[in-house]
């Protein structure tokens, strides 16, 4: 190993400088580092020069605070004394200006007064809860998604937080995996755009602004491809698939200047991500030139021992730090092993210095050296956490996120003159459930700011309509005693709204399910209600695609509400009564049965593709099940209809340095004003590696008044035609490309082709 250790003379020089620094600091006349006219790099270097090895390692150490405990600290706890000694760089799960200020005060008692960073999983809102990220992705509305992250950052930063562990940018094709709810679905193109928007939203214009938080692209990498959809499971995939499907959203986050990355729990092709040199050192910090820092996932440094990748903590620490993982979340392995590794000459101090510099740089960029308490303004916290504009935004985004799956005979929207509505189901009056998984339990805030579906409907109809309620059954279990009451109120009503689904904590981390049916007897309840002959609008609440064949076949109308957050009830009522025309489209395929999983739209053709459901003989099909999904990627209805016409390509042959303009006219042919998400798919007909049957390459969300038409244009360039070939080179190969414009990945309305020439 190369010895990077300083010579004895250099060490003595440093010691003298340090002593002088401390004397000056204690005398109170040392100008703050930030006051000097230095670049951030110079400032970082000058702090680094002052640090002992222990203090450096302290910066790489992150601890959990006591979750939702607020108020003053217990001063003799071991964490407090470690912070006092400069032994901690960051805390997570510490909320509110009071508690964060008191922690930061402790950090200011340390020799070098290096401020702490406070991290939190602000995944879809802080106090105001926005729809779960998967729901938001169904809006395909990048500006709304950016705004949701912006507001979340504003609220969180007002409460002392300066780092969110979001966005999760993992592509997910397996709805058994509970964490599909945290991402943007199955498509790489769309998920990359959303990753970019979310990072921009969280980080704002400038990390130094008081209302910005650092974003964290996670989980690097391919965590969403856990085998069997089982959380934390291994991942095994070709490098082509990794580069083409799973890495682009991470690259988009880098392009958006994301401040931090989090590595992941899984091993990929046999190497745990936390100790993965290729991913962290070569790709992220090398090829992509990422200047921020990487935090481990919770105790994932130690996880490498359980994986059987490293023998003990000493080896695990060496592996993680050399692979590029800069900060150790909660495993304490860096703290307990890095100094020994350096002293044993097993680890070059350069690795530690590089990690420390990356972390200090972010602390400077956040402005924490200038003012460690800049995020601790209790007055601002009070104002931001009670800003009514944020609820308006949450309602707006929720309206854009729910997907209308079925609307037989235009049952929806319901007339506001409907006399009696029976509201049935275990989720009608639920309150906190609407927040979904990964909400933040802000200390001291009660549940009154979440609008239940019942309250939302009541707010909408006032006294004109009679609303009847029966719970009917529980989410899980086989309690049927409530069926009779539900059927009885259904009989008295003009129409039924039935709210069923998962519990909010049935999806999320460590919430993988092997059956993803609507649990319990909820679909049996629907059966009995339908037997009354009444029309039923079913609201399905969930954090993932569920399987609900009976409902899909028999209910008259279905809205997939996901979990819509604080304003769920109001937003749902807006859509049910037509004040808002639904416009969302699915960003993940809905299977008919778990047996179809993994199922996604951009699959290969295979050598034996079936043409339809009865074409199963020696075909890539199931003998006992359709291979076609229940609802495809890109699907979603509106109260109006859209016609697609006049597809025009600006040329038939395109050279690699040229572009093709593709235009089409979209007409709102129905009675309501509405929004349509027009999707552009391409298919590379013959390639040196087989190519997907279609790939989303662009989309436009357009507003059209009833009867109105608009012509939209897409540009196709070489980038949109490229893929990773057998040598892992990013190439666009000459040949025929099909162009498809559709209302979903299946509902292709316009089709043509062109040739790419050399």
| Contact between 250 and ligand BGC per CB under 6 A | no
| Contact between 505 and ligand BGC per CB under 6 A | no
**Given the complex with ligand BGC, which of 121 and 141 has the nearer CB atom?**
121
**Given the complex with ligand BGC, which of 220 and 714 has the nearer CB atom?**
220
* Nearest distance from C-beta of residue 198 to ligand BGC, angstroms: 14
* Nearest distance from C-beta of residue 261 to ligand BGC, angstroms: 12
Contact 191, 183 (CB under 8 A): yes
Contact set for ligand BGC, span 606-635 (CB under 6 A): none
| Contact between 437 and ligand BGC per CB under 6 A | no
Q: Which of 202, 220, 298, 563 binds ligand BGC (CB under 6 A)?
A: 298
**Given the complex with ligand BGC, which of 121 and 676 has the nearer CB atom?**
121
* Spatial separation of the C-alpha atoms in residues 176 and 551, rounded to whole Å: 20
Is 209 designated active site? no
# residues near ligand BGC by CB under 6 A = 6
* Nearest distance from C-beta of residue 625 to ligand BGC, angstroms: 33
Cα–Cα distance list, 718 to 196, 242, 654, 697, 700 (Å): 21, 21, 9, 12, 20
Contact 467, 495 (CB under 8 A): no
Helix then strand count (H, E) for the chain reads 23, 26
- Work out whether strand 723-724 and strand 730-731 pair parallel, antiparallel, or are unpaired: antiparallel
* Nearest distance from C-beta of residue 303 to ligand BGC, angstroms: 11
**Given the complex with ligand BGC, which of 218 and 720 has the nearer CB atom?**
218
* Nearest distance from C-beta of residue 330 to ligand BGC, angstroms: 8
| Contact between 476 and ligand BGC per CB under 6 A | no
| Contact between 218 and ligand BGC per CB under 6 A | yes
Rounded CA Rg of the chain: 28
DSSP state of 140: T
**Given the complex with ligand BGC, which of 299 and 349 has the nearer CB atom?**
299
* Nearest distance from C-beta of residue 167 to ligand BGC, angstroms: 11
| Contact between 297 and ligand BGC per CB under 6 A | yes
β-strand partners of 715? 661
> Which string of DSSP letters, residue by residue, matches 191-244?
HHHHHHHHHHHHH-S-TTSTT--B-EEEEETTGGG-GGG-TT--B---HHHIII
Which two three-digit tokens encode residue 391? 């609820």
Q: Sheet harboring 695-704: ordered strands across?
A: 653-655, 748-757, 735-742, 674-684, 695-704
**Given the complex with ligand BGC, which of 153 and 530 has the nearer CB atom?**
153
Which two three-digit tokens encode residue 743? 């209302």
**Given the complex with ligand BGC, which of 264 and 679 has the nearer CB atom?**
264
Contact 602, 629 (CB under 8 A): no
**Given the complex with ligand BGC, which of 19 and 510 has the nearer CB atom?**
510
Question: Considering 297, 439, 574, 684, which one is annotated as catalytic?
Answer: 297
- Roughly what angle, to the nearest 10 degrees, separates helices 313-323 and 333-343? 90
Burial class (CB in 10 A: 0-12, 13-18, 19+), 26: exposed
H helices of 444-509, in order, are: 453-461, 483-492
* Spatial separation of the C-alpha atoms in residues 718 and 527, rounded to whole Å: 52
**Given the complex with ligand BGC, which of 123 and 338 has the nearer CB atom?**
123
Contact set for ligand BGC, span 111-130 (CB under 6 A): 121
* Spatial separation of the C-alpha atoms in residues 327 and 247, rounded to whole Å: 22
Cis (ω within 30 of 0) for the bond into 413?
yes
**Given the complex with ligand BGC, which of 209 and 509 has the nearer CB atom?**
509
CA angle 301, 156, 158 (to 5 degrees): 130
* H or E element, residue 646: strand 642-649
* Nearest distance from C-beta of residue 511 to ligand BGC, angstroms: 12
Give me the residue whose beta carbon is nearest to ligand BGC. Answer: 165
* Nearest distance from C-beta of residue 121 to ligand BGC, angstroms: 5
| Contact between 509 and ligand BGC per CB under 6 A | yes
Burial class (CB in 10 A: 0-12, 13-18, 19+), 729: exposed
**Given the complex with ligand BGC, which of 226 and 555 has the nearer CB atom?**
226
* Nearest distance from C-beta of residue 82 to ligand BGC, angstroms: 19
Contact set for ligand BGC, span 557-576 (CB under 6 A): none
* Spatial separation of the C-alpha atoms in residues 206 and 202, rounded to whole Å: 10
First to last CA, the chain: 49
Contact 448, 412 (CB under 8 A): no
Which residue in this structure is represented by tokens 């964290």? Answer: 216
3-class SS string, 376-410: CCHHHHHHHCCCHHHHHHHHHHHHHHCEEEEEHHH
**Given the complex with ligand BGC, which of 123 and 470 has the nearer CB atom?**
123
* Nearest distance from C-beta of residue 233 to ligand BGC, angstroms: 13
3-class SS string, 664-686: EEEEECCCCCEEEEEEEEEEECC
* Nearest distance from C-beta of residue 510 to ligand BGC, angstroms: 8
Contact set for ligand BGC, span 163-192 (CB under 6 A): 165
* Nearest distance from C-beta of residue 306 to ligand BGC, angstroms: 15
Contact set for ligand BGC, span 637-676 (CB under 6 A): none
Closest CA to 341 of 357, 352, 356: 352
Write out the catalytic residue numbers: 297
Residues that bind ligand BGC (CB under 6 A): 121, 165, 218, 297-298, 509
């Amino acid at each position: 190993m190369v010895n990077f250790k300083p010579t004895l003379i250099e060490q003595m020089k440093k010691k003298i400088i340090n002593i002088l620094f401390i004397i000056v600091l204690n005398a109170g006349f040392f100008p703050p580092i930030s006051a000097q006219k230095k670049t951030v790099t110079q400032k970082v270097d000058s702090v680094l020069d002052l640090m002992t090895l222990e203090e450096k390692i302290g910066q790489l150490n992150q601890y959990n605070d006591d979750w939702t405990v607020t108020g003053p600290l217990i001063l003799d706890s071991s964490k407090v004394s470690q912070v006092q000694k400069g032994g901690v760089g960051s805390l997570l799960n510490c909320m509110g200006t009071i508690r964060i200020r008191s922690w930061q005060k402790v950090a200011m008692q340390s020799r070098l007064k290096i401020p702490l960073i406070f991290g939190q999983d602000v995944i879809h809102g802080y106090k105001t809860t926005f729809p779960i990220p998967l729901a938001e992705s169904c809006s395909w509305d990048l500006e709304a998604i950016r705004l949701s992250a912006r507001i979340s950052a504003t609220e969180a930063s007002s409460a002392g937080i300066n780092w969110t562990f979001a966005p999760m940018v993992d592509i997910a094709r397996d709805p058994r995996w509970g964490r599909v709810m945290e991402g943007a679905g199955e498509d790489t193109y769309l998920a990359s755009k959303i990753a970019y928007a979310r990072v921009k939203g969280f980080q704002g214009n400038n990390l130094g602004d008081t209302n910005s938080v650092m974003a964290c692209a996670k989980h690097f990498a391919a965590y969403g491809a856990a085998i069997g959809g089982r959380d934390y499971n291994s991942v095994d995939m070709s490098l082509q698939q990794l580069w083409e499907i799973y890495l682009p959203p991470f690259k988009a986050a880098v392009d958006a200047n994301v401040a931090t990355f989090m590595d992941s729990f899984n091993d990929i092709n046999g190497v745990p991500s936390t100790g993965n040199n290729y991913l962290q050192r070569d790709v992220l910090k090398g090829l992509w030139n990422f200047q921020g820092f990487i935090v481990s996932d919770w105790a994932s440094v130690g996880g490498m021992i359980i994986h059987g990748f490293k023998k003990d903590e000493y080896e695990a620490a060496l592996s993680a730090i050399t692979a590029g993982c800069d900060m150790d979340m909660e495993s304490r392995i860096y703290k307990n092993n890095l100094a020994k590794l350096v002293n044993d000459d097993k680890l070059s101090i350069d690795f530690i210095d590089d990690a420390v510099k990356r972390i200090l740089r972010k602390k400077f960029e956040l402005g924490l050296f200038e003012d460690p308490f800049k995020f601790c303004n209790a007055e601002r916290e009070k104002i931001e956490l009670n800003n009514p504009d944020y609820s308006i935004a949450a309602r707006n985004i929720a309206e854009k996120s729910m997907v209308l799956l079925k609307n037989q005979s235009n049952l929806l929207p319901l007339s506001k003159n409907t006399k009696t509505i029976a509201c049935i189901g275990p989720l009608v009056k639920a309150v906190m459930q609407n927040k979904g998984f990964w909400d933040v339990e802000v200390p001291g805030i009660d549940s009154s700011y979440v609008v239940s579906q019942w309250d939302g409907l009541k707010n909408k109809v006032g006294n004109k309509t009679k609303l009847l309620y029966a719970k009917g059954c529980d989410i899980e279990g086989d309690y049927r005693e409530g069926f009779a009451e539900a059927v009885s109120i259904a009989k008295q009503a003009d129409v039924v709204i039935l709210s069923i689904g998962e519990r909010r904590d049935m999806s999320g981390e460590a919430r993988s399910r092997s059956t993803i049916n609507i649990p319990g007897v909820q679909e049996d309840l629907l059966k009995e209600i339908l037997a009354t002959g009444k029309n039923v609008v079913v609201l399905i609440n969930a954090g993932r695609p569920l399987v609900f064949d009976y409902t899909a076949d028999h209910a008259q109308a279905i809205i997939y509400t996901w979990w819509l957050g604080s304003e769920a009830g109001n937003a749902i009522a807006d859509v049910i009564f037509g004040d808002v025309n639904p416009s969302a489209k699915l960003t993940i395929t809905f299977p008919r049965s778990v047996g179809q999983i993994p199922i996604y739209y951009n699959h290969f053709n295979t050598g034996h593709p079936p043409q339809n459901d009865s074409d199963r003989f020696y075909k890539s099909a199931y003998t006992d099940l359709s291979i076609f999904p229940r609802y495809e990627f890109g699907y979603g209805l509106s109260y109006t209809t859209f016609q697609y016409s006049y597809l025009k390509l600006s040329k038939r042959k395109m050279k690699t340095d040229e572009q093709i303009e593709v235009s089409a006219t979209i007409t709102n042919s129905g009675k309501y004003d509405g929004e349509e998400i027009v999707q552009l798919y391409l298919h590379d007909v013959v390639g040196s590696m087989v190519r997907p049957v279609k790939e989303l390459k662009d989309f436009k969300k357009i507003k059209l008044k009833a009867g109105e038409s608009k012509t939209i244009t897409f540009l196709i360039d070489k980038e949109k035609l490229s893929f990773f070939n057998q040598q892992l080179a990013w190439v666009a190969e000459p040949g025929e490309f099909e162009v498809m414009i559709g209302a979903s990945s299946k509902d292709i309305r316009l089709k043509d082709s062109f040739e790419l020439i050399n």
